[in-house]
Structure 1
Amino acid sequence: MEILIKASQFILSLSFLIVLHELGHFIPAKLFKTRVEKFYLFFDYKFSLLKKKIGDTEYGIGWIPLGGYVKISGMIDESMDTEQLKQPAQPWEFRSKPAWQRLIIMLGGVTVNFILGIVIYIMITFAWGIDFVKPESVKNGFAVDEIFQSYGFKDGDKITKFNGETPLDVTEVNKHLFMRGLTSLDVIHEDGSTETIAIPEDIGSIMWENGVLEPFRVRTLPVIDTVIVDSPAEKFGILKNDKIIAVNNTPVKYWQDFSKIASNSKEDKLTLTVERNGSEKTISITPNENKTIGVSNYQQRGVTIDHKDFTFLESIPKGNSKAIWILKDYITQFKYVFTKKGATSIGGFIAIGNIFPATWSWQAFWGITAFLSIMLGFMNLLPIPALDGGHVVFTLYEIITGRKPNDKFLEYAQITGFILLIALLLLANGNDIVKLFTN
């Protein structure tokens, strides 16, 4: 059922984004009196699931859910239909239109993506407001990764400022470190002393290379809120709401203490001492091969979450700012795609589908859809033939130089770009399959 719910949200979100993106091309094409032969959700190689012709345009749903397209007369696109290009250009064809009109048609899709992302974030802010955690609301401080302990941070540190300013949400510290160039953090150590600790300028790269994307984790009480079905924990009698007070006779105070001891244990079994209904119980468990026992602690015990609602007018700048930061953050982390580790981290449809929650949530659905809209807008702007960005580059070249690339060059560029995209698609979904079996 969880897979079905995730898949339903993914397909609905993808369909919504594809249709609106293609409308971004379709509407200006029609305004400039350019014939649109097809408007399709998904690809219709050989046949389509549904189709209906209205005027000059065939509207339909294809059977290959890898995207969608509008087929514009006189344009070299993913259909690779070049027969019409052998005939004299007609007034209704894309190739007959002025370069500035063709540029607007090609930019229409990504423009819709960016505007849609902004609008959705505005409406999310208006409908649900925002949740945030003030620095003083993290009662137990943070558990700190060893790399950051070498800079002077300690377990239990309470973070009070980012770059000398009090953050709205202190739990976003990892995101700010990785993508937003923090240069210092003000902390209060457990002994009450305060310190401003400098951060290396290349901290994002250091985090990426070491696989430490969450160096600061809110310390939470070791109370189990989820026991996975058929896990070692369930088989050996661990129950929800059990509080872990010792592992292998070593007392634990926070969930992070339990995780560290369990993962570093050399024993074949873990001996857990848990508190249940006011009494103590000792349970011996044989972990899985990856040293997990199948329990989790997602609830932020020891953290107070604040909430703020916004009027519609207040939501506009807030939602706009959210969209801009999402785009900036995505561009910042995009550079890591070109590293060896980045190539194996690219995810396909399974990875994207897993972003959606296992239970239906409209707030989560719209938030992820807004993120995907902005991500698709950016990706489509990349100067790769077969993407909107490739067409834009060739059109800008024509506008600047006054010379239009010949059709044969555009045809070969389209084929090259298409092959590249197929290779990336295979890599991304191949990574998903490998991770599915290795995990």
Structure 2
Amino acid sequence: METLIMVGQLLLGLSILVGVHEWGHMVAAKSFGMRVEKFSIGFPPKIWGKQIGETEYSIGAIPLGGFVKITGMIDESLDTKTLNAEPEPYEFRAKPAWQRLIVMMGGIIVNVITGIIIFIGLALVNGEAYLPKDKLNEHGIIAYDLGEQLGFKTGDKILSINGQEYERFSDLLSPDLLLGSDNYYTVLRNGEEIRVEMPNDFIDKFADKKNRVSVIEPRIPFSVQSVVPGSLASDAGLKAGDEIISVNGVQTRYFDQLSAILDSLKGQPITLQAKRDGEIVDMSTTVGGDGTLGFIAQYELDYVSRDFTFTEAVGEGTYNAFAVVWLNIKGFQKMIAGDVDVRKSLSGPIRIATFFGGTWDWNNFWRIVGLLSMVLAFMNFLPIPALDGGHVMFLTWEIVTGRKPSDRFLENAQKVGMVILLSLMAFVIINDTISLF
């Protein structure tokens, strides 16, 4: 069922994104009097179609893209049978270069607008919640394996990033930081300030499927929220509101401390101390075979939360949308510099489906769709023949120089671009498949 939900979200998300992208091309073309022969979400074979006026609207069986067929335009269909005749007034090639440029930019523009609207909506609906630096440093961090490889230790208090103040816990491993270079942290450890360097290729380890656990997390004080009836904790006399302060004389102020010691004493008898209404209560029990006692913890961290006004949401959403584009640019720079393994950085449909997850969460769904909308706009703007950016490149050349590339040149460029795109698609699908194992 989880797989079906992943696939369902992927197909719905791609259909929305492809639909609005191709709609942007079509609306621009029709507004300049160009004939649009076909509008398709998905690639052939066609599973549904309907002719409305001069345009056939259809859904293809391969849901990994879509297309708009504009008369007189050399596109992925490579239909050039009419190019030897004089252009008709309604053809793409008969229109001024600036109109053709707007048509080719139409899909990119609509994807950007879609991404901005989604991020504004998310900001307006969800507001924001974050753990500020001062609350984080009351207790410090938990360092997991990858965090320890980086140089952190559990209990560290992080004072600054690159010598600069930071505002919240999420800043410590923000995408912008991970994609940067020569970054370092200043931490307070046992009363001493220590510099922790982040290697420029750290994002490669962070992106590895084997490291999909947290690098660092806030260290969390806890108390007992409720006790499972009939459990070992219940038999020992543990009650809601208790604070477990030690096990076998070892301090357990934080939940990671308690988890570690219980995991090391599975099935063994223990003594524990709890603070209850200001008094210390001694108890004895046995640790379960799974390393638990049978209670639900209540975590005690003071997160800051706030709602956005509409004006604030517009600013926040627009910033978040364009941050996606900036991060893609930095990601490409990392790949070119050799700091990032391309196999870990490029995602195809299989890996994208896993981003949606196996449960249908509308908030997460729209967040991923908004992100993908901005990524689609960025990728389509790359100056590769067969992408919108390739057409934009040639049209910009025509506008600047006043010389139009020949139809033969454009046809050959389109073929080269199709080979590049098909090769890239094959690479990411094979890479996605390998990453599953």
TM-score (norm 2): 0.77
Whether the 8 Å CA contact 1:29–1:105 is kept in 2: the answer is: yes
Alignment match of 1:280 (pick from 283, 286, 295): 286
Q: Compute the displacement of 1:310 (Å).
A: 0.9
Q: What residue in structure 2 maps to residue 108 of structure 1?
A: 106
3-state SS of paired residue (1:63): strand
Seen in structure 2, the aligned counterparts of structure 1 residues 412 and 369 have a Cα distance that, compared at 3 Å, is: same
Between 344-353 and 24-33, report the one with greater CA deviation.
344-353
Whole-Å Cα distance in 2 between the matches of residues 318 and 278 of structure 1?
Answer: 52
User: 1:261-276 maps to which residues of 2 (within 5 A)?
Assistant: 272=266
* Residues 84-128 of structure 1, C-alpha deviations (whole Å, 9 max, x = no match): 112211111111111111111101111111121111111111111
The yes-or-no answer on 1:16 pairing with 2:16 is: yes
Q: Compute the displacement of 1:309 (Å).
A: 0.6
Whole-Å Cα distance in 1 between the matches of residues 169 and 200 of structure 2?
Answer: 18
Whole-Å Cα distance in 2 between the matches of residues 221 and 283 of structure 1?
Answer: 24
The yes-or-no answer on 1:27 pairing with 2:62 is: no
Q: Compute the displacement of 1:147 (Å).
A: 8.4
Mark the structure with the bigger radius of gyration.
2
The percent identity for this pair of structures is 38
Q: What residue in structure 1 maps to residue 378 of structure 2?
A: 378
Whole-Å Cα distance in 2 between the matches of residues 128 and 167 of structure 1?
Answer: 23
Seen in structure 2, the aligned counterparts of structure 1 residues 57 and 260 have a Cα distance that, compared at 3 Å, is: farther
What do you get for the CA RMSD once the two structures are aligned? 3.7
Whether the 8 Å CA contact 2:179–2:203 is kept in 1: the answer is: no
Whether the 8 Å CA contact 2:322–2:374 is kept in 1: the answer is: no
Whole-Å Cα distance in 1 between the matches of residues 18 and 130 of structure 2?
Answer: 32
Whether the 8 Å CA contact 1:180–1:329 is kept in 2: the answer is: no
Q: Compute the displacement of 1:407 (Å).
A: 0.9
Q: What residue in structure 1 maps to residue 201 of structure 2?
A: 205
* Residues 286-332 of structure 1, C-alpha deviations (whole Å, 9 max, x = no match): xxxxxxxxxxxxx9956443321111111111111111222211221
Q: What residue in structure 2 maps to residue 173 of structure 1?
A: 172
Whole-Å Cα distance in 1 between the matches of residues 352 and 150 of structure 2?
Answer: 35
Whole-Å Cα distance in 2 between the matches of residues 181 and 97 of structure 1?
Answer: 46
Seen in structure 2, the aligned counterparts of structure 1 residues 182 and 314 have a Cα distance that, compared at 3 Å, is: farther
Whether the 8 Å CA contact 1:394–1:405 is kept in 2: the answer is: yes
Q: Compute the displacement of 1:157 (Å).
A: 1.4
* Residues 38-68 of structure 1, C-alpha deviations (whole Å, 9 max, x = no match): 01111124xx111111111111111111201
Seen in structure 2, the aligned counterparts of structure 1 residues 150 and 38 have a Cα distance that, compared at 3 Å, is: closer
| Ranges in structure 2 where 5+ consecutive residues have no aligned partner | 224-244, 273-282, 292-296
The yes-or-no answer on 1:355 pairing with 2:355 is: yes
3-state SS of paired residue (1:67): strand
Q: Compute the displacement of 1:334 (Å).
A: 2.7
Whole-Å Cα distance in 2 between the matches of residues 36 and 79 of structure 1?
Answer: 14
Whole-Å Cα distance in 2 between the matches of residues 428 and 18 of structure 1?
Answer: 19
3-state SS of paired residue (2:358): coil
Q: What residue in structure 2 maps to residue 187 of structure 1?
A: 187
Whole-Å Cα distance in 2 between the matches of residues 188 and 305 of structure 1?
Answer: 22
Whole-Å Cα distance in 2 between the matches of residues 307 and 85 of structure 1?
Answer: 60
The yes-or-no answer on 1:430 pairing with 2:409 is: no
| Ranges in structure 1 where 5+ consecutive residues have no aligned partner | 224-244, 262-269, 286-298
Whether the 8 Å CA contact 1:18–1:68 is kept in 2: the answer is: yes
Seen in structure 2, the aligned counterparts of structure 1 residues 306 and 319 have a Cα distance that, compared at 3 Å, is: same
TM-score (norm 1): 0.77
Whether the 8 Å CA contact 2:42–2:63 is kept in 1: the answer is: yes
User: 1:15-414 maps to which residues of 2 (within 5 A)?
Assistant: 15-45=15-45, 48-138=46-136, 140-144=139-143, 153-163=152-162, 165-175=164-174, 176-180=176-180, 183-189=183-189, 191=190, 193=191, 195=193, 197=195, 199=197, 203-208=199-204, 215-219=215-219, 272=266, 279-281=285-287, 283=289, 301=299, 303-338=301-336, 339=338, 341-343=341-343, 345-414=345-414
Q: How many residues align?
A: 389
Q: Compute the displacement of 1:81 (Å).
A: 0.7
3-state SS of paired residue (2:355): coil
Whether the 8 Å CA contact 1:160–1:185 is kept in 2: the answer is: yes
Q: Compute the displacement of 1:358 (Å).
A: 2.1
